[in-house]
Amino acid sequence: METCERAVEAVSAPSRSLAGREIRVCVIGDALVAGVGDPKALGWVGRVAARTPQDELSLSVFTLGVPGESTAGLGTRWWEEANRRYGDQDLDCRLVIGLGHADIDTGLSIPRSRLNLANVLDDAHSRRLVSFVVGPPPTGEPERNQRIEELSDTFSDVCRRRDVPFVDTFAPLLTHEDWLTDLAAGDGTHPRQAGYGLMAWLVLHGGWHEWLGMPRP
C-alpha cells in the first residue's frame, strides 16, 4: 500500500481544509466491530461512521471482523486484508483496531497480548498508517471482567507509549445500567442496540474527529 497518502499532518491540524479529502479506514477486530447482536446491524462502527460529517470529505469505512479472534490472529491477517481495501490510489489510509477479550479464552499471557498489539501498531507505523484503538468492553461476568480490566490497562499503556489514541470502553461501561441491561438481554458478551450506541458515543468523544483531522461538530 505504498501508494496511499499518509496524512499524518492532518491529525495535528484539524483546521486544514477538508475539501476533496478521501479517507479510507479499515476497522479490524472481532465480532464487536461487526456489530454482532445489534438488531439494526450497525454496531459501534456503523454508528460512528454515520455521525461523522462528510460534507467536505469522503469517508469509506471497511469493517473486517472475525468472531473470537485474539490479538495473535489479528496480527497475522490485518495487513493482507486491509491492504486489499486500501487499494492503489493516492488516498489518506488509516487503521482502527477494535479489541475484544478472546486472548483470555486462547490462553495468551498479558505480556504476549501486549506484544501482539505493539507489533501491529509498529507495523502500521512503519507503513505510515495512522492508527486508532478501541479497547475491550466489559461483559456480564464479574470474574471475567477482572481479566478484561487487566487487558484494557495493558492495551492502553501500549498505545500511550506510541502516542496512539486509545478509547477506554471498560471503565465507563462497567457499572453503566443501560450497558448491563443490554448485555442481559443478549448473550452477556455482545450488546444490543443501546450498548453499541454507548460504545459509539465513547469513540466519538474519545478523539475520533481530531484523529481524522476535522473539527468536532
What the block records as the C-alpha cell of 106 is 486462547
As its CATH architecture, domain 19-212 has 3-Layer(aba) Sandwich (3.40)
Q: What is the pLDDT of residue 18?
A: 61
- Residue pair 25/213 in contact (Cβ under 8 Å)? The answer is no
Q: What is the pLDDT of residue 16?
A: 47
What is the spatial distance between Cα 199 and Cα 15, in angstroms, rounded to a whole number? Answer: 27
Q: What is the pLDDT of residue 7?
A: 45
3-class SS of residue 91: coil
What are the residue boundaries of the structural domains of the chain, listed by start? 19-212
Q: How many CA atoms lie within 13 A of 67 on its CB side?
A: 5
Q: What is the pLDDT of residue 20?
A: 72
**How would you write the pLDDT of the chain (217 residues) with one tens digit per residue?**
444 554 444 443 343 456 678 999 999 999 999 999 999 999 999 999 999 998 878 999 999 999 999 999 999 999 999 999 999 888 899 999 999 999 999 999 999 999 999 999 999 999 999 999 999 999 999 999 999 999 999 999 999 999 999 999 999 999 999 999 999 998 999 999 999 999 999 999 999 999 999 988 8
Q: What is the pLDDT of residue 176?
A: 97
Q: What is the pLDDT of residue 12?
A: 39
Residue 109 burial by CB count (10 A; 0-12/13-18/19+): exposed, middle or buried? exposed
Q: What is the pLDDT of residue 17?
A: 55
Give residue 89's identity as a one-letter amino acid code: Q
Residue entry with cell 486500501: 86
What is the spatial distance between Cα 146 and Cα 124, in angstroms, rounded to a whole number? Answer: 30
